[in-house]
Structure 1
Amino acid sequence: MIEPFLAAVPVLKKLESAGFEAYFVGGSVRDFLLNKEINDVDIATSATPDEVKKIFSKTVDIGIEHGTVLVLFQGLSYEITTFRSEAEYEDFRRPKEVSFIRNLTEDLQRRDFTMNAIAMDKDGSLVDPFNGQISIKNEVIETVGKAVDRFQEDALRMMRAVRFVSQLSFKIEEKTLNALKDLVHLLENIAVERKQAEFDKLLSGDDRKQALELILETNIYSYLPGLSNQEDKIKLMFDYKLEKLNKREMWALLVYCLNFEKKDKEEFLRGWRIPLKEIREIQLILHYLNQRFETSWSLYDLYTAGKEIFVSSEILYLVINGIEDQNSITHYLQVYEQLPIKERSEMDVTGNDLMEWFNKTGGPWVKELLFKIEQAIIAGKIANNKKIIREWLMECNHN
């Protein structure tokens, strides 16, 4: 067993010493079996939420109606969920009723895919009633029980299946895939925010191209914001090497391929409920990408874009043009690092300085003059030094 399981073993022991069962469950066990990095662990127990709270002195109710308690133990936090069964689902996304139970197998039975329905005890022994290890060995994504039942319970599981194709490079088992195609219309019942979270992970996976092809094959795309009737434009993405793009660059490439008008780009991204900061970053990448198609990077464009944005724009420029040599990125990074300032706050002059020097009140002229100084510093015409800037301004004003 490895970390972070080892650090959490005392939590399992404490639950067991109180007379309850406790296991590691879910994605952390799956990723452990796949030798993937594990960031945190989920714990399932036969103890009810109230019993968990009596065992541990520091707890937070984060989802107690669904049996989950956050336990703070030895400087770390753990989500501990009571074994449960779920009654009939409503809205194709959540159970009408949750019942706490004492049976591990019954708890595992409610999970989505066999690879996620494996439990591991404190000694590293596995409990695998639905042959999840075989699914992992065969690299297949297969539902626990009938796929129709699992997808009707929570329609988002269909997107999760395709997301796992991207992240794990697994194949979706035939019956599971057929059920997905038959029930894909149920995705219209799922909130955009939940779809966006899955799509983000899909765009970040190693096998994202295969997953995007599945999005089209299964007609999932018709139930995603702004993508209905855009099959041909989505297919344009398959012409490019996507593997090295990060999530933000993937979004920018998708918008580029969709070829929206300027105002429609923001409307599309807002429709996905993407955070405003990320929308602005994607728009900036596209702005500088379009400039890059016309000309090389100027010093001022490198400065205004900033390192992360210009690198992303340059990466997309190379990908779209089929250029594998990335020497241009190295070159422009070197140029960027040699810029005298990286942002306006580093200028050795302020608006107050200008008003004092020229004995004038504030107004648009201050912003205009700061812009002129900024350009001169970036271009290397003057040093970023208050005394030198003042002398330069007085000479310009005199002339």
Structure 2
Amino acid sequence: MEHAANEVLAILEQKGYTSYKVGGFVRDTLLQLPIHDIDIATSATPEQVMNLFSKVIPTGMKHGTVTIFYQGYWFEVTTFRQDHEYLNHRHPDQVTFVQDIKVDLSRRDFTINAMAMDRFGNLIDPFHGSQDLKDGLLRAVGQPLQRFEEDALRVLRGLRFSVRYALTIEPKTWDAMMKAGSLLLTISKERVRDEFSKMLEGRDGLKAVDLLSTKGLLPFLDWHELFVRLSERPGRDRFNRFTDTTSRWAALFYGNSLTEARWFLTRWRFSNKFSSEVLTYLEIAEKERLTEREGKVLLLEFGLETVTRARELVKLKSDNHEDHERWKRWKEELFLHHPKELQVTGRDLLENYKKPPGPWVKETLQMLFEKAAIEGIPNCREVLLKEARAINDNHEGSNIENV
């Protein structure tokens, strides 16, 4: 990818345009981290860039950005610019194209993101971002409060960078974050949610929780309460042991009712699929003093991997220790593992009993499955149909008759 980016720079330079790799690429290169994408800044205007490359998408012409496809890679190319007044604490209303990379870098959020590198590896670093990386410091470019008032999302981005790169937030930058925190109310729910997600799902999610639980920082009471509740749990140090995304979020909600968790996930517009996965973990984890049958029913419904991952949540309570060997033993004792193994179908029930279709069919099949899988009743059609009659005869008002 970097070789292709350097060729893009060379093409631009051959036409007389100054060009650099910028932002996250420079930061992560200095930290010797994997590179996933490369942004390019240039003195060429968007129209001039579009004239030089065959496959170009005008992704943000108003702000000087186009996206080019070159040698199998996509590169975002933005003209050196100077931002004017910001609207709604998020985007500049107008930009002016400039010829000086240092002017362009001066509008960026943090010193560690305000560096540029040419195709020969020479560094442009007017705000000493490389030194801040060495010192483990996160510092805003220029006047910190102005940076956050321009774009309130930078508050959350700064917290995320601090967590991801293990950086201490410089005092003036931190003070400005605290003052600008209320401006996050102007940012869309999706943007806020996504920033929190990146922080919580990172390597040190617990540090993110501790930062986000800072009193007076967040204007979102519901988020703040979640972070504080987790930060005060006896088993809080176990949070980083949850390595999959669903477990991390379930751990955050653990201790809340399912109703509260469902309301929160809906309010903050998480996907239905993800919300269902988190709620499933919580439902499994909140069950206490499980009988053997109840445990085996959970295994039949959700599988061993989901159940054991969900049950890890109880370790957030310091006095709880989950016996995973018990779950493995219970699984091995099951006679069946999937409803499709059952030697009777809903059609069989309808054909053998004079009763209209309805919820009773699904309910009866589930009960038969549990009896065959857990109790070990013979999994053959005749026995299962007989058992189905017994099940439905026990239901109040049952009118099942043999055909």
Q: TM over 0.5, yes or no?
A: yes
Structure 1, unmatched stretches of 5+, are none
- Structure 1 residues 341 and 104, CA, compared in 2 at 3 Å: closer, same or farther? farther
- Structure 1 position 227 matched with structure 2 position 223: yes
Q: Is the 8 A contact 1:165 1:207 kept in 2?
A: no
Letter in structure 1 aligned against 2:12: L
User: 1:335-358: CA deviations, max 9, x gaps?
Assistant: 658867665466665434544566
| Equivalent residues of 2:210, 2:227 under 8 A apart | no
Cα 1:218–1:356 change in 2 (3 A) is: same
- Please state if 1:162 is matched with 2:155: no
Moved more, 154-163 or 13-22: 13-22
The residue that corresponds to 1:249 in the other structure is 247
Paired with 2:81 and 2:55, the residues of 1 have a C-alpha distance of 23
Partner of 1:278: 274
CA 129–344 in structure 1, closer or farther in 2 if over 3 Å, else same: farther
Change (3 A) 1:96 1:355: same
2:394 aligned partner: none
Distance in 2 between the 1:197 and 1:209 partners?
Answer: 17
**CA offset digits 1:181-230 (Å, max 9, x no partner):** 22222222222211111111111233333332222335223x12513567
TM-score w.r.t. the length of structure 2 is 0.84
**For 1:342 and 1:47, how far apart are their aligned partners in 2?**
63
Quote the Cα distance in structure 1 between the aligned partners of 2:200 and 2:83. Answer: 31
Asked if structure 2 preserves the Cα contact closer than 8 Å seen for 1:114 and 1:130, the reply is yes
Question: What RMSD over aligned residues (CA atoms) do the two structures have, in Å?
Answer: 3.0
Q: For 1:348 and 1:70, how far apart are their aligned partners in 2?
A: 57
Instruction: Give the AA of the match of 1:212.
Output: V
Query: Residues 257-336 of structure 1: matches in 2 within 5 Å?
Result: 257=255, 259=256, 261-292=257-288, 294=290, 298-307=295-304, 309-321=306-318, 328-329=323-324, 332=327
* Larger of the two Rg values belongs to structure: 2
1:192/1:141 CA distance change after superposition, 3 Å: same
**Paired position in structure 2 for 1:43:** 40
* Corresponding position: 1:87 with 2:78: no
SS at match of 1:243: helix
Q: Contact conserved, 2:87 with 2:93, CA < 8 A, in 1?
A: yes
Question: Does the residue aligned with 1:99 lie in a helix, a strand or coil?
Answer: strand
Q: How many angstroms apart in 2 are the aligned matches of 1:85 and 1:58?
A: 27
1:24 correspondence with 2:15: no
Over the matched positions of the two proteins, sequence identity in percent amounts to: 35
**2:184 aligned with 1:187, yes or no?**
yes
- Classify 1:290/1:10 alpha carbon distance in 2 versus 1 (closer, same or farther; 3 Å): same
Q: For the Cα contact (< 8 Å) 1:147–1:175, is it kept in 2? A: yes
Cα deviation, residue 77, structure 1: 2.1
Q: Is the 8 A contact 2:85 2:92 kept in 1?
A: yes
Q: Which residue of 2 aligns with 1:381?
A: 376
Q: Could you tell me how far 1:19 is from its partner in structure 2?
A: 2.9
Q: Is contact 1:237–1:254 with CA below 8 Å preserved after alignment?
A: no
Conserved? CA contact 1:292–1:317, under 8 Å? no
* 1:371-394 deviations in Å (ceiling 9; x for gaps): 1333245327268xxxx5423324
The C-alpha deviation readout for 1:312-354, integer Å capped at 9, x for no partner, is: 312212343366x88x446646865886766546666543454
Find the counterpart in structure 2 of residue 390 from structure 1.
Answer: 381
Match of 2:112 among 97, 110, 115: 115
CA contact (8 A) 1:293 1:317 kept: no
Pair 238,95 (structure 1): closer, same or farther in 2 beyond 3 Å: farther
Moved more, 294-303 or 21-30: 294-303
Task: Report the CA distance shift for 1:127/1:348 in structure 2 as closer, same or farther (over 3 A).
Answer: farther
Which residue does the alignment assign to 1:363?
A: 358
Is the alpha carbon distance of 1:87 and 1:397 closer, same or farther for their aligned partners in structure 2, counting shifts above 3 Å?
closer
C-alpha distance in structure 1 between counterparts of 2:343 and 2:11, whole Å: 60
Pick from 340, 346, 355: which aligns with 1:351?
Answer: 346
TM-score calculated relative to the size of structure 1: 0.85
